[in-house]
């Protein structure tokens, strides 16, 4: 088993109804088949309510379908309108195809040797894409209701799901273990961003790879979570009041990072060599955009390939990828 105690990294004993740490004696419940290895910390999820919601989602999958369960999360947990919830369901299924393309591209290390972890796996789409190729990717997320969806989606594609609920700042994974860690669109929602990068460094085996993606703080497009322009150009304390004023919504547990802020986090975590790329927006994603948004995305793709743009990208680009390796310690010659 990949998982260990998130508090002390001791081994976990399977006691059927829960896991018990053999070192510090902490107990962790198992909810709908998913171990809840979260420790108490500030997060965008209310843990108690999330465990209750997980049982509802399990029930909807059994009575109806996985698709209905995904809709229910957007509609009743996130409280999106019917139209927005339906769009997000479509986006989930489109992402499955996109992840499959990315596994042939910059996420290729995730198909080589394991163990591989998708940190912040949500509905487990990367594991599904890997399962279709006969490969296994374990998934960790802060929300069990999403992990219940992941369990069913991965199971449908023939892989035994390896899933747990946990916090990015306190990973239930032993030190020096992972060959690859992938974490897509997660860092911007983590309460303690330095803690998150420090944990990536800790759990990667020497020579292990990491690949993360995140929306750019300094982007000319609207903030992708709330659809408000100019958020990232404001100092952090003014961002939430501006989003409330201009978009009428709360802006919590979202803090977009600039390229320089990301570089600084990785340098401080002793992962100094990182590669930063501003990729094209996937054709599959553009296919589900509305007319005006699709035209803008195609224009973006044309401009982004120009050499001049690559230099300006950190100040205008929509999102970026960060990848690298946990360099093995140098041995004395
Ligand atoms: Zn422990």
Average pLDDT, integer, range 150-171: 93
On whether residue 251 sits in a domain, the answer given is: no
On whether residue 331 sits in a domain, the answer given is: no
Residue 121's pLDDT is 96
Give 71 Cα–ligand 1 centroid separation in angstroms: 36
For the chain, the residue count is 333
Give 270 Cα–ligand 1 centroid separation in angstroms: 26
Percent of the chain with pLDDT over 90: 61
Give 183 Cα–ligand 1 centroid separation in angstroms: 25
Confidence of residue 154 (pLDDT cuts 50, 70, 90): very high
Give 8 Cα–ligand 1 centroid separation in angstroms: 4
Give 205 Cα–ligand 1 centroid separation in angstroms: 21
Residue 281's pLDDT is 82
Kindly report the average pLDDT of the chain as a whole number: 90
Q: Are 187 and 26 in contact (CB under 8 A)?
A: no
On whether residue 246 sits in a domain, the answer given is: no
What is the number of structural domains in the chain? 1
Average pLDDT, integer, range 224-244: 81
CATH number of the domain where residue 289 is located = 3.40.50.150
On whether residue 318 sits in a domain, the answer given is: yes
Domain residues for 162? Answer: 12-219+256-325
Q: Is a pLDDT exceeding 80 seen at residue 331?
A: no
Nearest one of 208, 200, 126 to 159, comparing CA atoms = 126
Residue 57 DSSP label = H
Q: Is a pLDDT exceeding 80 seen at residue 304?
A: no
Give 27 Cα–ligand 1 centroid separation in angstroms: 9
Q: Are 217 and 232 in contact (CB under 8 A)?
A: yes
CA end-to-end span of the chain, whole Å? 36
Sheet with 27-31, strands from edge to edge, namely: 12-14, 18-21, 27-31, 34-35
C-alpha torsion sign, points 166, 261, 305, 107: negative
Confidence of residue 332 (pLDDT cuts 50, 70, 90): low
Confidence of residue 51 (pLDDT cuts 50, 70, 90): very high
On whether residue 244 sits in a domain, the answer given is: no
The DSSP annotation for 120-170 comes to: T-TTTHHHHHHHTTT---EEEES-HHHHHHHHHHHHHTT----EEE-BTTB
Beta bridge partners of 69: none
Average pLDDT, integer, range 160-187: 95
Q: Is a pLDDT exceeding 90 seen at residue 148?
A: yes
- CA 260 vs. chain centroid, Å, equals 21
On whether residue 243 sits in a domain, the answer given is: no
Give 211 Cα–ligand 1 centroid separation in angstroms: 28
Gap between the Cα atoms of 294 and 306, Å rounded: 20
Gap between the Cα atoms of 34 and 246, Å rounded: 39
Q: What is the pLDDT of residues 202-221, one digit of tens each?
A: 999 999 999 999 999 888 77
pTM: 0.91
Q: What is the pLDDT of residues 1-19, one digit of tens each?
A: 899 999 999 999 999 889 9
On whether residue 136 sits in a domain, the answer given is: yes
On whether residue 332 sits in a domain, the answer given is: no
Q: Is a pLDDT exceeding 60 seen at residue 333?
A: no
């Amino acid at each position: 088993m990949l998982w260990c105690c998130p508090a002390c990294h001791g081994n976990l004993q399977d006691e059927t109804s829960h896991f018990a740490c053999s070192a510090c004696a902490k107990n962790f419940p198992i909810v709908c088949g998913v171990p809840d290895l979260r420790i108490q910390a500030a997060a965008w999820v209310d843990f108690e309510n999330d465990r209750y919601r997980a049982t509802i989602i399990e029930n909807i999958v059994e009575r109806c379908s996985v698709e209905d369960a995904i809709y229910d999360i957007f509609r009743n947990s996130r409280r999106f309108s019917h139209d927005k919830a339906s769009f997000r369901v479509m986006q989930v299924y489109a992402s499955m195809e996109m992840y499959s393309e990315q596994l042939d591209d910059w996420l290729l290390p995730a198909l080589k040797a394991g163990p591989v972890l998708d940190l912040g796996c949500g509905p487990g789409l990367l594991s599904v894409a890997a399962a279709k190729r006969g490969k296994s990717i374990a998934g960790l997320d802060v929300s069990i209701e999403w992990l219940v969806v992941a369990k069913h989606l991965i199971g449908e594609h023939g892989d035994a799901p390896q899933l747990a609920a946990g916090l990015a700042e306190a990973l239930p994974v032993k030190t020096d273990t992972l060959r690859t860690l992938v974490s897509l669109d997660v860092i911007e929602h983590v309460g303690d961003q330095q803690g998150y990068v420090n944990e990536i460094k800790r759990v990667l085996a020497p020579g292990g790879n990491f690949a993360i993606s995140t929306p750019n703080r300094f982007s000319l497009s609207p903030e992708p979570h709330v659809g408000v322009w100019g958020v990232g150009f404001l100092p952090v304390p003014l961002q939430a009041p501006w989003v409330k004023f201009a978009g009428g919504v709360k802006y919590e547990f979202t803090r977009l990072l600039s390229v320089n802020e990301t570089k600084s986090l990785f340098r401080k975590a002793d992962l100094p060599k990182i590669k930063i790329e501003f990729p094209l927006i996937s054709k599959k994603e553009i296919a589900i955009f509305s007319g005006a948004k699709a035209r803008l995305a195609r224009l973006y793709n044309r401009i982004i390939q120009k050499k001049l743009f690559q230099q300006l990208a950190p100040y205008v680009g929509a999102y970026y990828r960060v990848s690298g390796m946990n360099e093995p310690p140098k041995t004395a010659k």
